[in-house]
Amino acid sequence: MKEFTEEYLDRMRDIAAARNEEEARKELEEMHPADIAELYQSLDLKEAEFLYDLLDEDTRAEVLMELDEDDRRKLLADMPAMEIAKQVIDHLDSDEAVDLIQELDEEDREEILSHIDDMEQAGDILDLLKYDEDTAGGLMGTEMIVVNENWSMPECIKQMRMQAEEIDEIYYVYVVDDEERLKGILPLKTVITHPSVQKIKSVMEDDPVAVKADTPIDEVALDFEKYDLVVMPVVDSIGRLVGRITVDDVMDKVRESSERDYQLASGLSSDVDADDSIWAQTKARIPWLLIGVASGILASVILGGFESQLQAVSALALFIPLIGGTGGNVGVQSSAIIVQGLANGSLDVKEFGKQVWKEFRIGLLNASVISLVTFVYNIFFIPDDFAVTMSVTLSLFFVTMFATLLGTAIPLTFEKFKINPALATGPFIQITNDIIGILIYVYVSSWLLGMFAA
């Protein structure tokens, strides 16, 4: 990865300040659009714009797509719809064009679409816009080489040469029948190794892995990983080829969705990055913190009802952190395993009962170990308070069992009702188990202290 040193950035700043077009062009010429975008974002807006204006339209469109959404939005805000259509959209692949258009306001969309000269591209974009963003259709592009199964290889190669100019990267040729149904794929390697075959259907790979356009993105990603794919064809409900998905788009989605799960598990309520503003970060953090405060206050109210006992047996108060902390830790572990299993396909929500039963046994094991350790410690170090020892030990046992089952059942239930199970981890589980832990502790110790007092 290109790392821009401070010296390099200073040099570019000087070039931009001097408006030295020749020198700037020389620097930019050999740079990858992704690097230019990084440079753009490391410079002041004025410097960045000077460099951006020197690029040719193709590179400009590519750099634009590599920028952060905020920067892209700012750049586009200054461009008239006609310019966006002709200078940007026209140079993008259909899937990128659709991503860009989806970022715009509803009213701008129509206007931009009306300015696209290439009617075929405009039609493709309109078709793609109909698909749900979170499905294979929303991720696919339409740039691909399509040939008929009955063609000969020389015909196929001629067709490829004609279509190849419009398409940046080609790894496979798609083979369809007369009804446009996907019949096979032809790796470019086969094209080169079998240049004179009479019917390409005799050398194509039959039954290629393909997805229906309405397949959720998560499943598409798992398929890419399972079959080690680079590109995957997308078909409609009757098997006609409608597009293709490339691995780079899938990788972005995999990273996005695992980052999102991690953030949810860490109590961040919206997508933030370390380089986001203080304000954006506070907005993402404060909701769960306030829910935490509310639950802490609720805990104080519950404990308040128990205040006379806390006063009488003050040793009970000392173990409040132990009870709450253990419940939280146990619950977070269970929920993390469920959420991850659902995400990577190793767990199916249909196995609800089986998984709960399994977690029940794991909980039993953990609860026994934890209670035993605590019991032994208390017996040795606070031997004169047997009622407290028993209260803490028993409460820990129940809290661990309860937290395990809750940590399993809540994310599975969320999944069942099509709610993101990752919401049911981290602070949600932690806080729920804190409160339940304290309730269990209060009731168990009241009961035991009553028994021992009698």
Residues 326-365 that bind a copy of itself (CB under 8 A): 326, 328-330, 332-333, 335-338, 340-342, 344-347, 355, 358, 361-362, 365
Nearer to a copy of itself, 81 or 99 (CB): 99
Nearer to a copy of itself, 139 or 299 (CB): 299
Site stretch for a copy of itself (CB under 8 A), options 9-17, 234-242, 291-299, 445-453 = 291-299
Contact 289, 427 (CB under 8 A): no
Cβ neighbors of 250 (< 8 A, separation 6 or more) are 139, 217, 220, 221, 224
Taking residue 258's Cβ as centre, other Cβ atoms within 10 Å add up to: 14
Contact 399, 325 (CB under 8 A): no
Exactly one of 270, 296, 416, 450 binds a copy of itself (CB under 8 A); that residue is 296
User: Residue 64 has which token pair?
Assistant: 């634009």
* φ, ψ for residue 185, nearest 5 deg: -125, 155
Residues 430-449 that bind a copy of itself (CB under 8 A): 430-431, 434, 438
Taking residue 153's Cβ as centre, other Cβ atoms within 10 Å add up to: 21
Contact flags string 60-79 toward a copy of itself, x per CB under 8 A? --------------------
In angstroms, what is the minimal distance from the CB of 274 to a copy of itself?
Answer: 3
Check residue 219 for interaction with a copy of itself (CB under 8 A): yes
In angstroms, what is the minimal distance from the CB of 168 to a copy of itself?
Answer: 9
Check residue 267 for interaction with a copy of itself (CB under 8 A): yes
Nearer to a copy of itself, 113 or 427 (CB): 427
In angstroms, what is the minimal distance from the CB of 331 to a copy of itself?
Answer: 10
Exactly one of 4, 262, 447, 452 binds a copy of itself (CB under 8 A); that residue is 262
Cβ neighbors of 26 (< 8 A, separation 6 or more) are none
Residues 150-169 that bind a copy of itself (CB under 8 A): 157, 160-161, 164-165, 167, 169
Nearer to a copy of itself, 50 or 99 (CB): 99
In angstroms, what is the minimal distance from the CB of 26 to a copy of itself?
Answer: 14
Taking residue 425's Cβ as centre, other Cβ atoms within 10 Å add up to: 29
Q: Which of 124, 96, 95, 122 is nearest to 111 (CA)?
A: 122
Nearer to a copy of itself, 286 or 451 (CB): 286
In angstroms, what is the minimal distance from the CB of 252 to a copy of itself?
Answer: 7
Name the H helices within 135-246: 136-139, 153-164, 188-193, 217-227
Q: Where are the beta strands (DSSP E) in 64-156?
A: 145-148
User: Residue 18 has which token pair?
Assistant: 């001097």
Contact 194, 203 (CB under 8 A): yes
User: 143: exposed, middle or buried (C-beta count within 10 Å: 0-12, 13-18, 19+)?
Assistant: buried
In angstroms, what is the minimal distance from the CB of 114 to a copy of itself?
Answer: 30
- Distance CA(172)–CA(397), nearest Å, equals 59
3-state SS class at 216 = strand
CA atoms within 13 A on the CB side of 43: 27
CA 59 to chain centre: 28
User: 54: exposed, middle or buried (C-beta count within 10 Å: 0-12, 13-18, 19+)?
Assistant: middle
Contact flags string 17-56 toward a copy of itself, x per CB under 8 A? -------------x-x-x----------------------
Residues 230-259 that bind a copy of itself (CB under 8 A): 230, 246-248, 250-252, 254-255, 258-259
182-187/205-206 β-pairing: antiparallel
Residues 367-406 that bind a copy of itself (CB under 8 A): 369-370, 373-374, 377
Residues 88-147 that bind a copy of itself (CB under 8 A): none
Residues 173-202 that bind a copy of itself (CB under 8 A): 187-189, 191-193
- Distance CA(359)–CA(340), nearest Å, equals 15
Site stretch for a copy of itself (CB under 8 A), options 74-82, 236-244, 315-323, 446-454 = 315-323
Exactly one of 57, 300, 379, 447 binds a copy of itself (CB under 8 A); that residue is 300
Site stretch for a copy of itself (CB under 8 A), options 69-77, 106-114, 120-128, 419-427 = 419-427
Nearer to a copy of itself, 112 or 232 (CB): 232
